[in-house]
Structure 1
Amino acid sequence: MTLDPTEIASSWLQSYAAFLTSGNVKGAVSCLQNTGFLRDFLVFTWNNRTLHGHKEITTYLTNNLACASIADFKLETRPGLLPEIDGLNTRMVSSVANTVSAGFTFGCKVGTGRGYFFLVPTDAGEWKAISVMMELADISGHEEWIQEEGAHDGHTLSWTDVNRERRETIEKDPYVLIIGAGHSGLNVAARFKHLNIPSLVVESNLRIGDNWRKRHVYPTLHLHVPKYYCELLYHPYPASWPLYIPRDKIADWLEHYAQAEDLVVWTNSRPLPGPTYDRTSGRWTVIIDRGGKHVTLNPAHIVVAAGALGAPNIPVMENPEQFAGSIVHCADYEGGKRFTGKRVVVVGAGNTSADLCQDLSFHGAESVTMVQRSATVVVPIVLVENQIERCFRGVNTDTADFLLMAKPIPLMQQMAEENETSLVEQLKEYYQSLHEAGFKPVTNKGLMTIFYSAYGVYDVGCVDLIRSGKVKIKQGVEIARLEKNSVIFTDGSNLETDAIVLATSFGSIRDSMRGIFGDSVIDQTSQVWGLDHEGELRGVFRPSGHPGVSIVLRSLDGFADPQPLQAMVRSRRILHLKVAD
């Protein structure tokens, strides 16, 4: 029998909408499978939540449905969100058969919302949702605008004067202060601008983009995921640009982006320690060091997007002063030329380590040894590209982000687990050769592990060097102590060494912010990164625990790109700042 996805989706949405608008929680929950998911972004609560199973969803809706004032459901009519068959399989590799999926819109208490559902048939032939996502799209009074006319006051005012006045107004009294002008900080600032939320960005570097020019300085640095996965809001990368964009092009693009979006950014600026928050007025008092001049501001919210501020992680090694060679952290690595002819130990086994080992080998290091403490997820870059292409090719970025966010992370993990056996079998020889070379790969976790954990390698060439022996592996150990010309490992073995490169990541953004906000503020915030018990990211893109602080990015180990987090930055989840209050 031929399925009509529009008829199935329309019938299901009509029932689901009727139950929700009438306050019938039991009826609404009956529209989902017993093990179905409800993913809520700021609709029923001012948070991001994923509820699993009838019991959790019933409790959640019972407590929150009435105050949400849900109404006016309609099926989406925009391309990419129309009812379709097997949409779950189209966007992801899945064994779920005969799914029907569709987008929808609705109204709620504070604005308008949009959602997406995936339906599967029961044994009785009923269509029930395996997952429903509902997201706050716009806040009343702060609806997103895309472009303005450009002619001001009947062509009597110049754009230059209008733009200057806007900047001066924001600089005097920003509603939001954003710390950090990297990908996330600029994206958030652009989103707020288009929501008419006055926002000021402060960046400690002298130029926007210096976090790429200076922080990760090895010359071969480039994105490890395709460019269309890392676009910034409103400005796609040029079609002629490389698929994997080099470091310096990214740096220049960030600078261009801030100018093109008319964002208000103070460079060579940083908040001084000791800002105070008045819970009565809901305002901060914070002093900004702007190139040596102190400026006092009173924003309502501070968004921390300064992932690069974390201090380098330096492992403890006995007797470092006895070592005659050089020890350099990846933050200060300037390329492999200075290590030509030298015996180099690289500590760490994430993406950065793989890049550095490849660079050192190319530039003629006498030997390169990677120290791998535990096991590492390794995935050939072509598989990553194919997976991302499923989500982003042929679909505009906003729609692709929305569809990605529509799937609860636990559901995506389940799907990944279903395909792990076949994936591992497909890569059997690949992983076996790594084992034989002494490297320990993780083979029981899917792509989701790399996306939502702090370790992993997108293989762009280092695996071949490991398998050929050009990059040697020291596995399951750490450096215990140093001698004049060698390192001694925790298993008692030693290795003659001329230089040590530490690809050991950076400290937590919470720890780096303690020096600014103090323990009393930071201790109110939640842990950053990793998944909570519901499968939502901890501490980022959601209330932090302090009413005046939001965290939108963490510096991640082993990744040389803006991350899949860009989809979250581009989405509307940062709206939890309660700008409608």
Structure 2
Amino acid sequence: MSLRMSMDHLREVEGKRVQDPLLASRKKPATCVPGPIIVGAGPSGLATAACLKEQGVLSLILERTDCIGSLWQHKTYDRLRLHLPKQFCELPLMPFPKDFPTYPTKQQFLAYLDSYTRRFDLRLVFNQTVTSAEFDQSSQCWRVKSLGLKGEETEYSSQWLIVATGENAEELVPQFEGMSDFGGPILHTSSYKSGEMFCRKKVLVIGCGNSGMEVSLDLCNFNARPSLAVRDSVHVLPQEMLGRSTFGLSMWLLKWLPIGLVDWFLLLMSYFILGDTASYGLNRPKVGPLQLKSMSGKTPVLDVGTLKKIKSGDIKVFRGIKRIRHHAVDFVDGKSETFDAIILATGYRSNVPSWLKEADMFSEEDGYPKKPFPNGWKGKNGLYSVGFTKRGLLGASMDARSISQDIEQSRNLDGEGRHFKALSLATPLHP
């Protein structure tokens, strides 16, 4: 064999070696995180990280977007305010500023989250979309894989994994017959900012929760002609009664009275303040508002002025949708109406089953913990969840405290020191 043929043969062999799938699949080793990994930098994730920090435990938050509170930053309408008084929405260890109004605006809440993150010097890695998380029996650690903006994969390893992606990770977009034939804009409330672009337009808002009702009111304020499609029964309560927030009054009454009696009182007061909502197409459920919330997590609507517009006829109410046609909608009661645009106020859903490789703690059907509140925060092998209580920021704060205390106890049982070494990661950390 000639020298030339030998060299060509060697190059061919070397080329095959480079293309060997076993060699090509080798990746850099996982980044070992000495504290818990928290997936999600919304209020729930931030609250948990702060509670851990207070216990002397450093955590690392992985966030798929480029900011904290991305739902509030990018997917909420301009006029949004907290629906509950600020004292029921503050995160652990830090109240809202005293000069904030009772119901802080979207911008004020985001400023609060930013101050909260900086005060506790929380550690975040942005633009990291978690694609899988699985418990490794051999190392007794969670192996978390994520993708960066350029598709680069990073793997993290930790003894603890905290799921904080929440109830509102992905838009819930229902499919109706004929949607593709409508011919006008159809958008989810996550893309809605204000009614300015719908001035003088006939707009159908599908969904009558707090978002649907408030978007309808916002459309009225911009001289649009909104209508509400109401499929289910709904409890509408005044935001305040007897000079106090309805929520705060309810919490106070529950300290002394059974839930059924408190529901009776709320409905009686609502009738005197708002009137018979059924006469305007908003039928009430048979179960009281607090009992329904406890049973199903369905939140009553706290009216901020929408009902007045419904009473005046500025907002029309229709029944559920049968089909959609070209710039028109047929309803289940036989009525039809023309529209220029449709807004889907149909809510969000959890995306946990798409990336968490675990079958015991979370349901595959809805992505919520299988154990009901208040016991859904803890799973096996150092797995936790926060923000899946269907009880807003108050429930998330309760979970955050429970998780931090449990992890601190487990570290003490393991004989670990009280302080972790500072994280040293190549990826830039916030702030």
User: How does the TM-score come out when normalised to structure 2?
Assistant: 0.78
- Partner in structure 2 of residue 427 of structure 1: 270
When residues 492 and 348 of structure 1 are mapped into structure 2, their CA distance, relative to the original with a 3 A threshold, is: same
SS of equivalent to 1:257? helix
Identity %: 25
2:394 maps to what in 1?
A: 564
Query: Which residue of the partner structure matches residue 89 of structure 2?
Result: 230
Residue of structure 2 in register with 1:517 after alignment: 356
For residue 99 of structure 2, the aligned residue among 221, 226, 240 is 240
Kindly report which structure 2 residues correspond to 1:18-417, keeping only aligned pairs within 5 A, or say none: 172-216=32-76, 218-273=77-132, 275-292=133-150, 293-307=152-166, 310-365=169-224, 367-383=225-241, 385=245, 387-388=247-248, 415-417=258-260
In structure 2, list runs of 5 or more residues that go unmatched. Answer: 1-30, 415-431
Q: Quick one: which amino acid aligns to residue 202 of structure 1?
A: L
| Number of the residue aligned with 2:20 | none
Moved more, 453-462 or 175-184: 453-462
Distance 1:323 1:178, change over 3 A: same
- Residues 140-188 of structure 1 show CA distances to partners (whole Å, capped at 9, x for unaligned) of xxxxxxxxxxxxxxxxxxxxxxxxxxxxxxx852321101111110010
SS of corresponding position for 1:554:
coil
Q: CA deviation digits over 1:349-392, x for unaligned, max 9?
A: 11011110110111111x21111111112221114715526869
2:335 to 472, 478, 493: 493
SS in 2 for 1:297: strand
The match for 2:346 among 504, 507, 518 is 504
Instruction: Summarize deviations over 1:201-229 as a string: whole Å, max 9, x none.
Output: 1111212233211021x110110011111
CA separation of 1:240 and 1:308: change in aligned 2, threshold 3 A: same
Q: Any idea what SS the aligned residue of 1:370 has?
A: strand
Could you report, residue by residue, the CA deviation over 1:97-118 in whole angstroms, capped at 9, with x for unpaired residues?
Answer: xxxxxxxxxxxxxxxxxxxxxx
The one-letter code matched in structure 1 to 2:226 is: V
Q: Which amino acid in the other structure matches residue 417 of structure 1? A: G
The one-letter code sitting in structure 2 at the alignment partner of 1:467 is K
Within 2, Cα distance between the matches of 1:221 and 1:576?
35
Shift of 1:555: 9.0
Verify: 1:537 aligned to 2:349, yes or no.
no
Cα distance in 1 for residues equivalent to 2:360 and 2:370 = 19
RMSD between superposed Cα atoms in Å = 2.9
Return the letter of the residue paired with 2:300. G
SS of residue matched to 2:158: coil
2:8 aligns with none
The alpha-carbon distance between structure 1 residues 515 and 441, as it changes in their structure 2 partners (threshold 3 A), is same
SS at match of 1:565: helix
Q: Is the 8 A contact 2:203 2:341 kept in 1?
A: yes
Which residue identity does 1:256 align to in structure 2?
S
Q: Structure 1 residue 539: deviation in Å?
A: 6.6
SS of structure 2 residue aligned to 1:346: strand
The corresponding residue for 1:551 is 385
Deviations 1:444-474 (A, max 9, x none): 4143544761332011111211222211111
Distance (Å, rounded) in 2 between the aligned partners of 1:516 and 1:307: 13
Deviation at 1:253, TM superposition (A): 2.1
The one-letter code sitting in structure 2 at the alignment partner of 1:277 is: F
Which aligned runs of 4 or more in structure 1 are off by greater than 6 angstroms?
A: 389-392, 411-414
The reply on whether 1:418 has 2:261 as its aligned counterpart is yes
Shift of 1:308: 6.2
CA deviation digits over 1:33-86, x for unaligned, max 9?
xxxxxxxxxxxxxxxxxxxxxxxxxxxxxxxxxxxxxxxxxxxxxxxxxxxxxx
Corresponding residue pairs, total: 375
Distance 1:380 1:563, change over 3 A: farther
Partners of 1:286 and 1:267 lie apart in 2 by 15
Corresponding letter in the other structure for 1:483: R
- Equivalent residue number for residue 456 of structure 1: 300
Q: How far apart are residue 563 of structure 1 and its match?
A: 3.5
* TM-score normalised by the chain length of structure 1: 0.59
CA distance change for structure 1 residues 514 and 282 in 2, over 3 Å: closer, same or farther? same
Residue 283 of structure 1: how far off its partner (Å): 0.2
- In 2: Cα distance, 1:289 partner to 1:249 partner: 31
| Kept after mapping to 2: 8 A contact 1:184/1:566 | yes
Q: After TM superposition, give the deviation of residue 339 of structure 1 in Å.
A: 0.9
1:529–1:539 CA contact under 8 A, matched in 2? no
Give the whole-Å Cα distance in 1 for the aligned partners of 2:113 and 2:146. Answer: 22
Give the secondary structure class of the aligned counterpart of 2:258.
Answer: helix
Q: Provide the C-alpha distance between the structure 1 equivalents of 2:293 and 2:268, rounded to a whole number of angstroms.
A: 19
For 2:334 and 2:215, the matched residues in 1 are separated by 26
CA–CA distance in 2 between the matches of 1:267 and 1:283? 22
1:286 and 1:462 map into 2 onto residues whose CA distance is: 45
Match in the other structure for 2:14: none
